[in-house]
Amino acid sequence: MKRIILIAACGLMVCTHSFAQEDEPKLVVKPSGRILMDAGVMHSSDPALDDQLNDGVAIPDVRAGLSATYGKWKAKVDVGYARQSVSLKDINIDYNFDKENLVRMGYFVHQYGLQSGTSSSFKISMEEPLASQAFFNSRLLGAMFLHAGEKFHATASLFAENDAMKMSTDKLGNEAWGAMTRLVWRPFTERGKIFHIGISGAYESPRYSKNPANSHSSYTLRAPFPTRIANVSAQEATITNATALWKFSPEMNVACGNLGLEVQYFYVGIKRKNALPNYSAWGAYGNVRYLLNGQGYTYTRTDAGIATPDPGSMELVAAYNYSTLSDKDAGIHGGKVSDWSLTFNYYLNKYMIWRVRGSITRATDNAAFNNNTFSILETRLQIKF
């Protein structure tokens, strides 16, 4: 009898200890950081632009941050420094219902298309495609639900305009708002055998403008020439007398062994008032990527895209982008660009990547400058932990 009582007592102690461990999750805090170092030579056939697009070196992005995990909760704070200016980057809190579902709240990049799944320093063509920069929103203050299932990926977001993080409402006025979603079907996600197709959609009310006459009745779409050493617009359009913006973007991601393909299309429509014609713009890009060594591409379910290649991998990426912000029916000439690029990526180790990129950009139909051809050769060493 005593033996039975002793065994039962020991079992109860073990169970109590197990429950205590489950009820008291550990707080795990991890530091993070990033440094980008760029150097490049560039030239434009337009003398006026060539005076702005100058050769040079730069550290365009330095970041320091912390993430903390406690049970089903996770928080992240990331602060950036560039050009002697400090800015807030990701500031968000996640609640994980389970391994496939979470809610994220705060200031972060909401998922819309392929490029939203990777940070700005992990673009395989070194610089983000111009179409994505023109039609995407970067970070927004809001909330996003994410489902990352085995075969199906879905997000749904509600957000305020970007300036909600920079200004109080007595200066900003009633904040613009919007909603977006990304839906992906991925029947194959094995190493070296990847296929997914998806579509994103969004609605936005008119945004804040420094010009009081256009504030919350306009949108500005912009993409710079593909470098961070200089910051000069390749395309820019301000659409006034606007009442609503809607957009959609189909995408496809394929990999077979060491060969991969990423394709995305963008369409934006803006409704206008005062009998002005509505505005529309579109663009697309394609990336063909090839691992010179390694065992094939892998997939990341949370971000819904091809994962960063293994340490030691070397990769070539051939990319093409076309996008237009010009709409002759609306009388707006924001510019058309065709961009061809070739990028070499060397994933030195888990924390370091070396990139070399060459590109030619043809910029036309822009009211701000003459038709011209821009060429650049640049390199980047990046560290991220």
In tens, the pLDDT along 259-309 reads 999 999 999 999 999 999 999 999 999 999 999 998 999 999 999 999 999
Ordered DSSP codes for 54-117: --EEEEEEEEEEEEEEETTEEEEEEEEEETTEEEEEEEEEEEESSSSEEEEEEEEE---SGGGG
pLDDT band at 117 (very low <50, low <70, confident <90, very high): confident
pLDDT, mean of residues 76-82: 95
Beta bridge partners, 284, equal 265, 322
Q: Is the pLDDT of residue 2 over 90?
A: no
Q: Is the pLDDT of residue 17 over 70?
A: no
In tens, the pLDDT along 324-381 reads 999 999 999 999 999 999 999 999 999 999 999 999 999 999 999 999 999 999 999 9
| The pLDDT value given to residue 24 | 85
| The pLDDT value given to residue 20 | 44
- Integer Cα distance of 42 and 375 in angstroms: 6
DSSP state of 228: S
- Which candidate, 160, 272, 172, places its Cα nearest to that of 218? 272
pLDDT band at 22 (very low <50, low <70, confident <90, very high): low
- Integer Cα distance of 237 and 331 in angstroms: 11
Tokens of 300: 């990341």
- Integer Cα distance of 319 and 298 in angstroms: 20
Phi-psi region of 21 (alpha: psi -120 to 50; beta: other; left: phi over 0): alpha
Q: Is the pLDDT of residue 3 over 60?
A: no
pLDDT, mean of residues 12-41: 76
- Which candidate, 32, 194, 197, 201, places its Cα nearest to that of 111? 201
In tens, the pLDDT along 52-75 reads 999 999 999 999 999 999 999 999
For residues 229 and 138, the model is more confident at 229
Phi-psi region of 51 (alpha: psi -120 to 50; beta: other; left: phi over 0): alpha
Q: How far is CA 218 from the centre of its chain?
A: 23
Cβ neighbours of residue 264 closer than 8 Å, sequence gap 6 or more? 113, 114, 115, 129, 131, 132, 249, 250, 251, 252, 284, 285
Q: Is the pLDDT of residue 233 over 70?
A: yes
The CATH number assigned to the domain with range 44-49+100-384 reads 2.40.160.10
For residues 20 and 358, the model is more confident at 358
To the nearest whole number, what is the mean pLDDT of the chain?
Answer: 93
Q: Is the pLDDT of residue 250 over 50?
A: yes
| The pLDDT value given to residue 183 | 98
Tokens of 343: 């990028």
Three-state DSSP at 349 gives coil
Q: Is the pLDDT of residue 137 over 90?
A: no
